[in-house]
Amino acid sequence: MNIYELRTPALLVHSAALEHNLAIMHNARPRTTLRPHVKAHKCTALARRQVAHGHTAFTCATPREVIGMATAGLGRDLLLANEVLDRTLLGDMAAVQHLATVHIAVDSVDTIDAAADAGLRYVLIDVNIGLPRCGCAPADAGVLADHARSRGLFVSGVMGYEGHLMMVSDRDEQKVRVDRAVDKLLAAHLLVGGEVISGGGTGTYDLHDQLTEVQAGSYALMDTHYAQLGLPFQQACTVLGTVISTCAGHSVVDVGLKALGMDHGNPQVRSVDGESGDVWFVSDEHTTFSNLAVRTNHRVHVLPAHIDPTMALHDVAWVVDGDEVVDQWRIDLRGW
């Protein structure tokens, strides 16, 4: 089968670019020095490629990702880098601990008690290192670790995420600011102990020498937002569309809001020959663009601005080698 036989919109994973990205990353951060983030693809088949490249520990954002990865036999060590209070979901994760080590992030007495009550065994103390989201104040990390240990939990270390620094375009400035954020994590680690100091992402994957592991995820498939940074990773995911309408001034492709994560703004449009068009706007089922020589029934690639929520909108990814469809992967870790 080739891409011209696919119903559109169709999520494509370009295998050569994916393998390039996985190889580059594994060269920079081999084996457990990277804990690939599953939220960026939500796909056990893709995680299997990351395992093939040598990674054995994974980061997850939802209980369903943890349970799906464990059940698929992927990852010996799964970290839910997120706070959960729901007893049922915590219990469901505890029930897969015979398949993998399950770590969960905690940042409060409530999250620690919920994890302990559910029978989970391993936690990381989640520390706020500058991004105002989850995470305790660095100075509180030691007290929380003590409480976790008093509840019988094994505290493996700390995690923090400098998400506010992913898109700093000046690399020298970024390095200075990342180091300052990591200093907070190291201060917390002195209070907590344990072997794990976890953090980082695709935008800072090569700036860390103090972390024991980096949680990058977007590097595998990339998006136009991260592409602005000039990282050595290639766009490995596009949404294939069909041109359904053209007129003198503009054309319309059948890829819209329901096929694209839109929080980082409009996607890019590219012909199958690699020429770029100008995107005007995106509607539920359409992207309007100009300056690309296309006719009705032509295929065009739409490049998502944000990969993670794009994956959450598709049932399947078609793996392609050039124009040839070589595999079909289920996006099987969607939902919660």
Nearer to a second copy, 77 or 107 (CB): 107
Burial class (CB in 10 A: 0-12, 13-18, 19+), 169: exposed
Give least dist CB 168 to a second copy, A. 16
What is the C-alpha separation between 283 and 276, in angstroms, rounded? 20
**Does 272 contact a second copy by CB under 8 A?**
no
Candidate ranges 66-74, 95-103, 167-175, 253-261; the one touching a second copy (CB under 8 A) = 253-261
- Restricted to residues 117-146, the positions that interact with a second copy (CB under 8 A) are 128, 132-137
**Does 112 contact a second copy by CB under 8 A?**
no
Cα-Cα-Cα-Cα dihedral of 315, 7, 305, 130, to 10°?
0
DSSP assigned state of 306: B
What is the C-alpha separation between 251 and 265, in angstroms, rounded? 19
Which of 138, 157, 163, 199 lies at the binding interface for a second copy (CB under 8 A)?
163
Angle in degrees, 0-180, between the axes of helices 141-150 and 171-192, rounded to the nearest 10? 40
**Does 89 contact a second copy by CB under 8 A?**
yes
Give the count of residues interacting with a second copy (CB under 8 A): 57
Nearer to a second copy, 13 or 26 (CB): 13
**Does 253 contact a second copy by CB under 8 A?**
no
- Restricted to residues 179-238, the positions that interact with a second copy (CB under 8 A) are none
Nearer to a second copy, 71 or 283 (CB): 283
What is the C-alpha separation between 147 and 138, in angstroms, rounded? 15
Which of 258, 278, 291, 322 lies at the binding interface for a second copy (CB under 8 A)?
258
Question: For strand 101-106 and strand 122-126, is the pairing parallel, antiparallel, or unpaired?
Answer: parallel
Residues that bind a second copy (CB under 8 A): 7-9, 39, 61-62, 82-86, 88-89, 107-108, 110-111, 128, 132-137, 163, 242, 244-247, 249-250, 252, 254, 257-258, 261-263, 280, 282-286, 288, 296-297, 306, 308-309, 312-313, 315, 334-336
